[in-house]
Structure 1
Amino acid sequence: MSKFALENIDLVKGPIRFKKLVIDGSCQFDAFCDQIEHEGNLHKQLVGLFANMNQVALMKRLPATKFRDITPAREHVKEFEIKKGDLRVYLIKEEAHIVIIAGKKSGQAEDIRTFRSIKRRYLDSKAK
């Protein structure tokens, strides 16, 4: 069974807290950000993605093209997607916004399936 932990995202500031999910000592969101920084070509979009996250943390309304609810019908825990260009962040809302994974638009369908699978495992681990 996986071990889950939450860590603050220090680059996001505001009354609404953002945390990242760490699974067995590894954070997919951190690995994704490192990959984008290393590749270099999407760095500006990554900066914009953090700007959108900060706007949400400051309780500012964003258009659906930047921040949207992707919660399936009859699901109790809200799911959201934050977008900037080709980059996506998938998160849930609990005591804070919890970033589960991030990805690129080209892998969006697979990322959402992975996101929901990890989300279910995380919530199941909390219920025990």
Structure 2
Amino acid sequence: MPGMFVVDREWLASHFEGSTVSETWRDDIFERSLVPLLTTAEIHADNDVYEDPAFKDAFETIPNRCSDTALALYMSLKGFHENLSKTTVKSIRSAFKKMWELLDGDTYRGKWHFNEAKQHWEGNPA
């Protein structure tokens, strides 16, 4: 499993080789429906996620504000663009869910949300 997370992190890092994500990649997301897990409104709202410095660290052991969107994009890429099986895509999600669940007691379990009182993200982005 550790090898899988290295590949996933490399995918995130690849979006930061240039100053921004290419328009071709964004066009692929919209035209080829690589992100059916998100609504069109959510895609437009999250389009700036590529500009967010936290995006490149979204798959680290401590999830951040971009982790849920990055995981949805990654699973869509694997399932629809690379034609991996539904079972494989579910396994990717399960691996991330388990990784985050095992951290810091119950902090990364349950519904993913920003805790205003504690000023940090909690729940599980998967």
> What is the TM-score of this pair, normalised by structure 1?
0.31
Q: Which has the higher strand share?
A: 1
> What is the TM-score of this pair, normalised by structure 2?
0.31
